[in-house]
Amino acid sequence: MTVAVKILPLPHYEGLALPAYETPQSAGMDLRAAVPADEPVSIPPGEWRLIPVGIAIALPGGFEAQVRPRSGLAAKHGISCVNTPGTVDADYRGEIRVNLINHGQTEFTVQRGDRIAQMIIAPVTQAVWEVADSLDETERGTGGFGSTGTK
């Protein structure tokens, strides 16, 4: 399935490739850091930084963009996103930024053009609440965190 999404490259995005699927079956498009070439962003261990990606988008109603960590950055450097997945709503028109966190043990530097996160375009279902006096019984019931065990 495909969906047309308008994209507005902002002035500080000049020279960078548009988000793209790296393989034919990729679910996510890589987002690139739109930081100035002469001003890389360093993220010390345990800290986070909001990184601009230099684009704004216009999603059609009924869709969201999910911003997620890149598995390679997480596995190799301990880099993730503070809120993951981050949601870009269909009515948001501002610049997309990624809140990267360094869970690693050494400082991580973000350079201009680095692929820092991935974006997935997904359909959205909105709920309509039905107030009830009780809920259906299930085997799990009200068991919460850890109640189903680990084996």
The residues spanned by each domain of the chain are 6-123
93-112 tens-digit pLDDT? 999 999 999 999 999 999 99
Could you give the dihedral angle defined by the CA atoms of residues 136, 140, 142 and 144, in that order, rounded to the nearest 10 degrees? -140
Distances (CA, A) of 129 to 6, 137, 142: 32, 19, 20
6-123 CATH fold? Deoxyuridine 5'-Triphosphate Nucleotidohydrolase; Chain A (2.70.40)
16-34 tens-digit pLDDT? 999 999 999 999 999 999 9
Quickly tell me which residue has 């503070």 as its tokens. Answer: 82
Could you give the CA distance from residue 91 to residue 137 in angstroms, rounded to a whole number?
38
Q: Facing residues of 31 across strands?
A: 117
Is 0.85 surpassed by the pTM of this model? yes
**Tokens of residue 148, six digits:** 């189903």
pLDDT band for position 44 (cuts 50, 70, 90): very high
